[in-house]
Amino acid sequence: MTVGSYQTSTKTLWFFVIDLPPGDDGKRRQHKRRGFPSRTAAEKAETEACKAFGEAAIGADGSVAAELSGWLSERELDIEETTLDNYRNLFRMYVIPHIGGRQLYSLDKRVVQDMYKTLVKEGGSGKKPLSETTVRTVHRVLMKAFKDLGIDLGAVRQPRPAQREDQGRKGVWTPKQSKQFLQFHRDARLYAAWALAVVAGTRRGEIAGLKWAKVDLDNGIVYIHWQRTISGNKVIEKSPKGKSRRPIAIGPAMVRVLREHKARQDEEKAAAGLLYHDHDWVFPREDGEPYYPRYYTDQWENACLAAGVPVIVLHDARHTSATAGADAGVPEHVMQKRLGHADARTTREVYTHVLPESERKAAELMDSALGEEAA
């Protein structure tokens, strides 16, 4: 890589040159840009160009970028498209800019650990610190790729799990807050979708992909069989993987909510007439076409603000549902099946949170063992 200057008739300008690996014909390749007003501007553009060329243009020469790109291509056969897209983004954003140009087989664990340190310190947007959780995810995926590629770096150290002040709790509503939210939106068009998220713990993609053919109101069962998710900017429709494909039992109140929702939808269908496109979606737009999945996320945030409850992300409605089940004494294995978790540890460690109310009840119960009345 070279940065230099040249003189025009009126001023001094700067350029940079990046040497790329030879092409398939063996000829030398370079990327050049000129016309920068200062050395600093040229060096900044050079750095950005190196990042852009990291995955695609530092070619099939055994570089980390090239080998990881090849690994991603091979895994297209056995990894879900959305998961693969997440891996691709992790490499593009956090790995390639730091070690993409290095030869894969010359790596050692110190280089990788130095990358982790840099990410933790300034790996986020605008060179802000990147969370330890994200860096650990990078580590997990990178080690998986290295293992498949036959690279053993030994025991690579990774950032330790952050100690959370909230003892691991994510966004969780109390029963009172859940009731306030749902009662406030009782007449909202997406009320039934919000109720399913809070009561049944359904994911955004599961709500977006639900069809009436898989809703048995007579027997109180919702079958999670399809989802609409986002990969990049593209909507992907597919069957949920593993235990995410499941039946969910719903009670009489939730059945009533869905019956009322269907009656309203039938009225919309009749009013639209030939303009309605009936694809059997449970939560479509007024014309029957499906919403872009991110629409639910945006509307959920607005709904939280309108109801005057703490703003939690839509996925945290699952945490709220799991917490309510745990507090009510629902067995862990039942909650695991209901939420569609493949691993019981996910239910136990991530979704089962103890609310302050439960902690207070436990404290009062233990106080009673002292045989004294509260003052």
Q: Are 208 and 296 in contact (CB under 8 A)?
A: yes
Instruction: Quickly count: other Cβ atoms within 10 Å of residue 27's Cβ.
Output: 7
Q: Encoding tokens for residue 314? A: 């839509």
Residue type for position 211: K
**Most confident by average pLDDT, 90-104, 237-251, 297-311, 328-342:** 297-311
**Which of 61-65, 162-166, 289-293 shows the lowest per-residue confidence on average (mean pLDDT)?**
162-166
How far apart CA 213 and CA 229 sit, in angstroms, is 20
* C-alpha dihedral, 64 to 70 to 73 to 74, nearest 10°: -110
- pLDDT, greater one: 357 or 104: 104
With 0.75 as the threshold, say if the pTM is over it. Answer: no
Mean pLDDT value of segment 2-10? 78
| pLDDT at 187 exceeding the cut of 80 | yes
- The radius of gyration of the chain from alpha carbons, rounded to an integer in Å, stands at 27
Angle between helices 294-307 and 191-200 (to 10 degrees): 90
Sequence spans of domains, the chain: 2-148, 175-360
The class level of CATH for 175-360 reads mainly alpha
Structure confidence at residue 163 as a pLDDT band (50, 70, 90): very low
